[in-house]
Structure 1
């Protein structure tokens, strides 16, 4: 992993074949949809994949180490349950947070995140939106953020077969919640720019 410009490609050397490339590719498909009568892109499919990949790039282990497949080969215990580290960050932390703080209600968790956008994180939201490229995305920047978070939080102090309990949980779940919020804010910004091209250069993102 490094902080440089992403040079993502597949085994045939085709560029743009990673989550960052996918975000930019699907954004371009949506932004230019209808510009040419020969356009054959599936708008619904592009929108669904864009939303999925914007979420993915904010999960730190989706840009984790290649040798452990983003934590997939690191086996741990999440309290008493066996899991791999990637699953802990994809599922286990969120499930535990919902049980502990939100009465297992996704709606309650989403409402809490929305409240934090206008209160606890309100000073940060403007920075989350910063993106000089008005007609594409800043997915590379989001991936770099995830690289640092994977090193400083996801992988930190983790070894094979370790039991991850309260010390890990209570220092990591705030990171997970903030990344969920950042993903939502940034997806909204991308979609605002896509669907109102005339205002794309000046459009701020209003969080209500």
Structure 2
């Protein structure tokens, strides 16, 4: 893993850098904490080998790394989201997976496919040597989270809700940030004693109880990774829940929060289950 030496030095400098992109820090942490206990023995071993030492074996602790490196890896910014045509509420890979310059495959679905393919070389030493598989693991884990945030598959004109100014109760915010952070943070404060661990525990219990039958279907995929299906779900959730009833200057309070909290919890749970299933398929 010689190619990882420079990366480990670089990433160590970023651990304490604050970030508020994608899902917020808690959202990505939750997805990776849901995923890690669901890994097969082979996948858990591979993840352990690829994680940087300072992560202490905890994938969740580095699941926001991909947001922190945008200032250095400028090329990666377009890989966190998908812009879809306004108001169509549909996603098509060939139409939508491109960056602002029209370069194909540069979107979060394309990134998931790319880093999945890189990680498939893990057991082929000669092939793996051309990639930094630690970075590939962290990018894949992060992007599997991003694609489950509904406004990361949002409308082109408002940049996934980033240009829609609203109020979250009494505070000014943009709609995208509400889905990244505010719904999760408000839920933690109101229902989980301000503890992200309690929220993770609740979601894990729901996955094995009220969502147990659904969770089996969430994990299913006929290939190694199925980001196009997740993106199609995302734009539907964006239209049905994130954008619905919201306009410039809207004040979003309990009616919006309590109904949308269920959607956020579901997408976090799906993201965690699917990240684990994808890593299990990659590492056999």
> Matches of 1:5 and 1:25 in 2, distance apart?
14
Change beyond 3 A, Cα 1:122–1:34? closer
Residue deviations 1:160-207 (CA, integer Å, cap 9, x gap):
0110001101110000001000000000001111111xxxxxxxxxxx
Change beyond 3 A, Cα 1:11–1:158? closer
Q: SS where residue 157 of structure 2 aligns?
A: helix
> Matches of 1:28 and 1:4 in 2, distance apart?
21
Give me the CA root mean square deviation.
1.4
TM-score by length of 1: 0.89
Q: Which residue of 2 aligns with 1:107?
A: 197
Q: Which residue of 2 aligns with 1:167?
A: 255
Following superposition, the deviation at residue 69 of structure 1 comes to 0.6
Q: Which residue of 1 aligns with 2:148?
A: 58
Following superposition, the deviation at residue 84 of structure 1 comes to 0.1
TM-score by length of 2: 0.66
Contiguous gaps of at least 5 residues in structure 1: 197-208
Q: Which residue of 2 aligns with 1:201?
A: none
Q: Which residue of 1 aligns with 2:45?
A: none
Question: Quick one: which of 272, 277, 284 aligns to 1:184?
Answer: 272
Change beyond 3 A, Cα 1:159–1:187? same
Q: Which residue of 2 aligns with 1:18?
A: 107
Change beyond 3 A, Cα 1:127–1:87? same
Change beyond 3 A, Cα 1:129–1:97? same
> Matches of 2:263 and 2:134 in 1, distance apart?
31
> Matches of 1:50 and 1:147 in 2, distance apart?
20
Contiguous gaps of at least 5 residues in structure 2: 1-83, 85-89
Change beyond 3 A, Cα 1:10–1:36? farther
Q: Which residue of 1 aligns with 2:243?
A: 155
> Matches of 1:20 and 1:178 in 2, distance apart?
20
State whether residues 33 and 41 of structure 1, in contact with CA within 8 Å, keep that contact through their aligned partners in structure 2.
Answer: no
Q: Which residue of 2 aligns with 1:92?
A: 182
> Matches of 2:94 and 2:179 in 1, distance apart?
23
Change beyond 3 A, Cα 1:13–1:36? farther
State whether residues 62 and 70 of structure 1, in contact with CA within 8 Å, keep that contact through their aligned partners in structure 2.
Answer: yes
> Matches of 1:28 and 1:153 in 2, distance apart?
33
State whether residues 6 and 140 of structure 1, in contact with CA within 8 Å, keep that contact through their aligned partners in structure 2.
Answer: no
Q: What count of residue pairs does the alignment treat as equivalent?
A: 194
Residue 232 of structure 2 is aligned to residue 144 of structure 1? yes
